[in-house]
A and B are shown apart, each in its own frame.
Chain A
Amino acid sequence: MKSLAELEAIRKATINRINLRTEDDSTTTRVVVGMATCGIAAGARPVMLAFMDEIAKRQLSNVTVSQTGCIGMCRLEPMVDVIVPGQDKVTYVHVKPEMVERIVDDHIIHGHPVHEFTIGANE
């Protein structure tokens, strides 16, 4: 037997789990990790897993993690695009798992891109 409050808690938790099926682009932040052969070789998988961990840990809804193929700048891999609705896409390069916490905290939660990690600072 569940109380009304417990049911509401289940709803909230489950929405976080399944919103990637129902969310529309206007409210969802997308984290896109370059995962072609070059990206994987450069260590993209641990980066992607770090993003997933961080997002789960902070119970963020409205954030999806997906991958994309090679974008032709293999020397900058692992690369990660973060697209916050209503803002320009930000591309991070040479991403390492240690950098993920700051990107999630500063950029995804507080809306301030971490400039020193971006493609602009590295080119």
Chain B
Amino acid sequence: MDNYRAHVLVCGGTGCSSSGSATLIERFHEKIAENHLEKEVKVVRTGCFGLCEAGPVVIIYPDGTFYSRVKPDDVEEIVTEHLLKGRKVEHLVYVDHATREQNAEKKLEDITFYKHQHRIALRNCGVIDPENIDEYLAMDGYKALEKALTQMTREEVIDEILKSGLRGRGGGGFPTGLKWKFTYQSQADQKYVACNADEGDPGAFMDRSILEGDPHAIIEAMAIAGYAIGASQGYIYVRAEYPIAVKRLSIAIEQARDYGLLGKNIFETGFDFDLNIRLGAGAFVCGEETALMHSIEGKRGEPTARPPFPAVKGLFDKPTMLNNVETYANVAQIILHGAEWFAAMGTEKSKGTKVFALGGKINNTGLVEIPMGTPLRTIIYDIGGGCPNGKKFKAVQTGGPSGGCLPESLLDTPVDYDNLIAAGSMMGSGGMIVMDEDNCMVDIARFYLDFIVDESCGKCAPCRIGTKRMKEILDRIVEGKGEEGDIEKLERLAETIKATALCGLGNTAPNPVLSTLRFFRDEYEAHIKEKRCPAHHCKSLLQYKIDPAKCRGCTACARVCPADAITGTVKNPHVIDPSKCLKCGSCMEKCRFGAISRE
């Protein structure tokens, strides 16, 4: 019997896999067999549901019960209670962060986390089994390819993408239709399409999740792109560190070939198209388009100057059309539902939706897809649930190492390409990291610069030497050795690097420093002039002190101190020796009388 009465969807996304969802799946199979339910209940491993914070996530249909933080030992109860007797296991049901209600009979769309979202790129993630092409087909899969090949000319396909207003989701925001058109217009005996799945921003996992949750959507879109621009071969460039994505993609490509959706003479229209995966070693610069293509060719992943642009001279010197994973994830939907449908969502110059990986000091870390134009505040508070532990929000970082940090006063900015740039940051590929009052903005800038110094390919001097010089200045500042004039030096270096670096990595590398200087200059000044870190984060600038009036001489602090930095006798005020203190904070936690403070 192929007809199951219940489906148990277990998240096999990145987050839930690392919190043990594979064991859950095994356990479900075991317990379902023990209870003789294998003909009635089907277990499906899906891609990310988005609410990774609540993971591992299990959803049971047809009821739609959303179980969160499921542990292997909970599986037996779910099987014997819910699946056998139809009684929900109340203590595992997800509690909505905003309404504090459990989602008993509710649809996913009613949960606050999902209510403000609109899923186009993520539409199948968490819904279908990504390793089963039939399930993708059932969700209207490969209908867009069929429509393009059998009912549309190549020009019509390009025109549809142009009119939809889709822009590149890999960071730059270049109009996708234009890129297709330019490559279409290039004359050559061979052209290529390529997919950028390098995704190297710290904290970003949108593209990986799409590949893991809905790999066929990318294959279908690349075939459509191949038809439109006149390419018979495509390459997907994925990081080798994303083994689940690589595996699901390989399975999907095999299945598509099997069904004749890749290969020769697709739908008997005479169109040939095939795809290959190329593994990247995980260097950030390899996400840059020229470096990526060199890497696919088997050369060093170093950028080269443009022009010539890839649309003219790309892979193997042939015209090449490179798009990001999420960009492709929108293509089939646009072909199927039309450009107007897509262009009706979003803002004037940014259409459709954008996926963000929410992280940092936020309650609901996870994947969200929102219509362009949604205010930052909605993403952070309504969807993300704000900062944990009642801490005060300080800043939100978008655009990764190329982007910037925006303060509270700009939270009403509607998210789109142009607004974020005007506000002093950028869209980037979709990392969104929230910072609270405990984050030091100077140290945050230093973190991103540190990343850049490590990832610079070293080919050009402004990036190789300039970013290192900036990093040295920031190191000094957080160590309390900042000097008058450091801020101006940073600004001068930043301008030079921006203007003269060879590729986008260097051009944008100073942005985190510039944006924090713009919005949090007082924090830099406090470090330099007062040798003080307002967030109490930078250890070198911290001083632990015992207030002799409050100290009862209980010796608790002296006993916990790992450095023997605290001296004093019983019932007499204790003292910390600053030269020995490691600033671990243990004594402050231990003191029951609030006698220890840090400055």
Among B2, B63, B267, contact of A66 (Cβ-Cβ < 8 Å): B63
**Interchain CB contact under 8 A, A17 and B137:** no
Encode contact with A along B249-278: 1 for CB under 8 Å, 0 otherwise: 000000000011101000100000000000
User: B127 is contacted by which of A22, A34, A36 (Cβ under 8 Å)?
Assistant: A22
Bound-state Cα–Cα, A28 to B277, Å: 41
Query: B residues within 8 A CB of A13?
Result: 134
| Given A18-B128, A66-B86, also A2-B61 (CB < 8 A) | no
Of B62, B127, B138, the residue contacting A14 (CB under 8 A) is: B138
Check if A11 sits within 8 Å of B137, measured CB to CB. Answer: yes
- CB contacts (< 8 Å) of B85 on chain A: these are 35-37, 40, 67, 69
* B87: A residues at CB distance < 8 A: 36, 69
Closest to A28 in B: B62
Q: Is the CB of B86 within 8 A of A68?
A: yes
Contact A16 B259 (CB under 8 A): no
Partner of A7, one of B4, B107, B142, B263: B142
Q: State the CA gap A30–B85 with chains docked (Å).
A: 16
Residue of B1, B138, B260 touching A11 (CB-CB under 8 A): B138
Is B2's CB under 8 angstroms from A17's CB? Answer: yes
Residue of B nearest to A22 (CB): B127
Q: Quick check: A14 and B86 within 8 Å, CB to CB?
A: no
Complex Cα–Cα for A18 and B129 (A): 10
Binds B, one of A45-53, A87-95, A103-111: A45-53
Cα-based distance from A15 to B5 in the complex (angstroms): 14
Chain A's closest residue to B127 (CB) is A21
Q: Are A35 and B138 in contact (CB under 8 A)?
A: no
Task: Please determine whether A7 and B7 come into contact, CB atoms closer than 8 angstroms.
Answer: no
Contacting residue for B259 out of A1, A32, A52, A67, CB 8 A: A1
Residues of B near A55 (CB, < 8 A) are 3
- Tell me if A64 counts as interface (CB < 8 A to partner B): yes
Contacts of B162 in A (CB 8 A): none
Contacts of B127 in A (CB 8 A): 21-22
A24 to B109, CA, bound (A): 12
Establish whether residues B5 and A18, one from each chain, have CB atoms under 8 Å apart when the complex forms.
no
Q: Which of B94-128 contact A (CB under 8 A)?
A: 107, 127-128
Number of B residues with CB within 8 Å of any CB on chain A:
34
- Near A by CB (< 8 A), chain B positions 50-88 give 61-63, 84-87
Asked whether B137 lies within 8 Å of A7 as measured between CB atoms, the reply is yes
What is the number of residues of chain A that contact chain B, defined by CB distance less than 8 Å?
A: 38
Contact partner of B62 (CB less than 8 A), chosen from A2, A30, A35, is A30
Q: Let me know if A56 is at the binding interface, CB within 8 A.
A: yes
- Cβ < 8 Å to A, chain B residues 110-160: 127-128, 134-135, 137-142, 146, 150
Expressed in whole angstroms, the Cα–Cα distance for A24 and B139 within the complex equals 15
Q: Does B560 contact A (CB under 8 A)?
A: no
- Residue of A7, A30, A49 with most partner-chain B CB within 10 A: A7
Residues from chain B with Cβ under 8 Å of A101 in the complex: none
Check A65 for interface membership: any CB of B closer than 8 A: yes
A60 to chain B, nearest CB (A): 9
A121 in contact (CB, < 8 A): no
Determine how close the nearest CB of chain B comes to the CB of A118; give it in whole angstroms. Answer: 21
Bound together, the chains give a CA A83 to CA B146 distance in angstroms of: 38
**Residue interface bits A24-43, CB-to-B below 8 A is 1, else 0:** 10001010111111001000
Per the bound structure, the CA–CA distance linking A56 and B39 in Å amounts to: 12
Complex: chain A residue closest to B46, CB-CB: A21
Whether the pair B138, A56 counts as a contact (CB closer than 8 A) is no
- Note all chain A residues with C-beta closer than 8 A to B259: 1-2, 7
Q: Which of A18, A36, A69 contacts B138 (CB 8 A)?
A: A18
Beta-carbon contact of A52 and B86 below 8 Å: no
Q: Which of B5, B128, B139, B263 contacts A65 (CB 8 A)?
A: B5
A30 surroundings in chain B (CB, below 8 A)? 62
Q: CB-nearest residue of chain A relative to B138?
A: A14
B129 to chain A, nearest CB (A): 9
Q: How far is the CA of A22 from the CA of B87 in the complex (A)?
A: 21
Docked-complex contact A56 and B40, CB < 8 angstroms:
no
A109 to B2, CA, bound (A): 20
Q: B6 on the interface (CB 8 Å rule)?
A: yes
B514 within 8 A of A: no
Nearest CB of A to B389, in Å = 36
The smallest beta-carbon distance between A72 and chain B, in angstroms, is 14
Residues of B within 8 A of A65 (CB): 5
Cβ-defined partner of A52 (8 Å) among B9, B40, B84, B135:
B40
Kindly state the separation between the CA atoms of A24 and B4 in the bound complex, as whole angstroms.
18
Residues of B within 8 A of A69 (CB): 85-87
| B249 vs chain A, min Cβ distance (A) | 20
**A73 within 8 A of partner (CB):** no
- Residues of the B chain whose Cβ atoms lie less than 8 Å from the Cβ of A23: 62
| Complex-state Cα separation, A13 to B133, whole angstroms | 13
Q: Which residues of A contact B142 (CB under 8 A)?
A: 7
Please, how many angstroms separate the alpha-carbon atoms of A123 and B260 in the complex? 60
Q: How far apart are B139's CB and chain A's nearest CB, in angstroms? A: 8
B153 smallest CB distance to A (angstroms): 19
A1-B259, A2-B260, A56-B3 are contacts. A35–B137 as well, Cβ < 8 Å? no
Please name all residues of chain A whose beta carbon is closer than 8 Å to the beta carbon of B128 when the two chains form the complex.
Answer: 18
Identify the closest chain A residue to B107 (Cβ).
A24
Chain A residues whose C-beta falls within 8 Å of the C-beta of B135 in the assembled complex: 14, 18
* B binding-site residues for A, Cβ under 8 Å: 1-7, 9, 40, 61-63, 84-87, 107, 127-128, 134-135, 137-142, 146, 150, 259-261, 263, 267
List 20 interface pairs A-B (beta carbons < 8 Å), by A numbering. Answer: A4-B267, A7-B137, A7-B259, A11-B138, A13-B134, A14-B135, A14-B138, A15-B138, A20-B5, A20-B6, A20-B7, A20-B62, A21-B7, A21-B62, A33-B86, A37-B85, A52-B5, A66-B6, A66-B62, A69-B87
Closest 9 CB pairs of A and B: A67-B86, A1-B260, A14-B138, A56-B3, A64-B62, A65-B5, A20-B62, A14-B134, A69-B87
